[in-house]
Amino acid sequence: MKIELSSLPDEGKAYSGELPQEIFDLPEGDAKPLGPLEYDLWVQRFGSELLLTGTLSAPFQFTCVVTLKEFKKTIHLEDAAVSLEIESAGEVDATDALREEILINFPADPRCDEGDEPEPCEIDSRYLSVDKTPEDGLRTPPRSEGSDRWSALDSLKDLKDQP
């Protein structure tokens, strides 16, 4: 989103449109953009600063931290406010600032019950075999029975008593 400063009136100007999803450029294994970043902003200049206020929205595919299912969640910011310093006359590109505003609003622990179409967010009981009784017939992970892995560390505690 490029803003031509020479054509920006003192009272500000409305800008709306879309930025392509390629601007997100997220690493493999992270959230995946499913569409463009849509914006509807009011842009006004205050001295050497540009203030953009309004709505930002972009859909993403996240992986649920509980179920490991992929789900769609739209990051929607009703009252976005972005401030940019004007470094030179001419044109200001606000694309990176808008991208960052969306990215910092990603959920820390995405859950499928918080998606655009909420789904039940419960862990599959098959993955809880440690809590199962032996009668369930599920193999539990090996425990320290017969394992002498930690005995080497136990012998180190005796060394601290030596001069």
pLDDT computed for residue 121 by the predictor: 86
Specify the pLDDT at position 7: 86
pLDDT number for residue 99 = 95
**What is the predicted pLDDT for the residue at 6?**
83
pLDDT for residue 90: 83
Q: What global pTM score does this model have?
A: 0.72
In degrees rounded to 5, what are phi and psi of residue 74?
-95, 125
Retrieve residue 45's tokens: 């200049």
Task: Provide φ and ψ at 25, rounded to 5°.
Answer: 45, 55
The domains of the chain are located at 2-114, 125-161
DSSP tag of 149: T
Could you give the CA distance from residue 93 to residue 61 in angstroms, rounded to a whole number? 27
How many residues are recorded in the chain?
163
Which residue type occupies 23?
Answer: I
pLDDT by residue for the chain (163 residues), tens only, comes to 888 888 888 899 999 999 999 999 999 888 999 999 999 999 999 888 999 999 999 999 999 998 889 999 999 999 999 999 988 778 889 999 999 999 999 999 999 999 999 998 887 666 665 555 666 565 555 555 555 666 666 667 666 666 6
